[in-house]
Amino acid sequence: MKNVLTVIAVASLTGCATHSDISPTRTIQSNGLEFIEYTNNKTGIDSLITNQAVKSFKTDYQKAPSNKAFAQSVSGAWNWKSNRSSVEHARTSALVGCQRNNKKSEDIYPCKVIHVNDEWVEPVSVVNASEDSMRSSIAAPTRPHVWSDHKQLAMDSGVCRIKATDILTALGFSNVVTSPHGDYVYGNYVGNRAAVKCVPLGEGTFLYASVAGPDVKEVERLRNEIMWQY
């Protein structure tokens, strides 16, 4: 029996659907099941799928300070972030927030950034991409890039670890945890992994921070964002 996942069923989890033109594009396979893939054909404010998203965009997001970004999935999930340290930080933070609201549908209907600061992001149609280009984009995994730095701090190591947790959380990292022995603080950020170590050194602390991920520029930026706040 064909299992059809309709966007209306998913959108009901996040709010009532608006007048967006959502249409089927192709049939895809996932985990042994067959699904109909949908594409949102609207642009601009009309591309927002739920009434809650439209209300939040008009009343809060448009008035929010830059750097800001709005992300949405065809499932109806959405999220936005503002007042970030850079445009890329805003894009990634909004994407992470949307993905958290889209856990059940992210594999089929991934979140995408649709608006940045004062401009709408032009949608990229999966249907227009060739099968060869799609295969090549997922066939060859890239080696992770690693950026690290260290410094000596005039603070207690315990305070250093608490600050590390606060920094990673403020930057939008998820699953921020402290190692069982208490030396390391870890966090995840859209395919990137950060580790911050605070080691007692005399009356102060030796700080070591490392970030690993697929995009060298993003890895460097995250490393810098962490170190600048110490």
Q: Where are the domains of the chain?
A: 7-139, 145-228
- Condensed to tens digits (0 to 9), the pLDDT of residues 173-202 reads 988 999 877 789 999 988 899 999 999 999
> Are β-strands 204-213 and 192-201 bridged in parallel, bridged antiparallel, or unpaired?
antiparallel
With respect to CATH, is domain 145-228 assigned 3.30.930.10? no
* Separation CA 199–CA 80 (nearest Å): 36
Is the distance from CB of 51 to CB of 19 less than 8 angstroms?
no
Grade residue 86 by pLDDT with cuts at 50, 70 and 90.
Answer: confident
- Whether 224 shows a pLDDT value over 90: the answer reads yes
Q: Could you give the C-alpha distances from 83 to 31, 163, 173, in angstroms and in order? A: 39, 20, 16
* Separation CA 47–CA 65 (nearest Å): 22
List CB contacts of 110: < 8 A, sequence separation 6 or more. 73, 99, 102
Helix (H) or strand (E) holding 121: none
In three-state secondary structure terms, 169 is: helix
Would the pTM count as exceeding 0.75? no
* Separation CA 76–CA 176 (nearest Å): 27
- Condensed to tens digits (0 to 9), the pLDDT of residues 125-165 reads 433 333 444 344 434 445 678 999 999 999 999 999 999 99
4: phi then psi, degrees, rounded to nearest 5: -105, 120
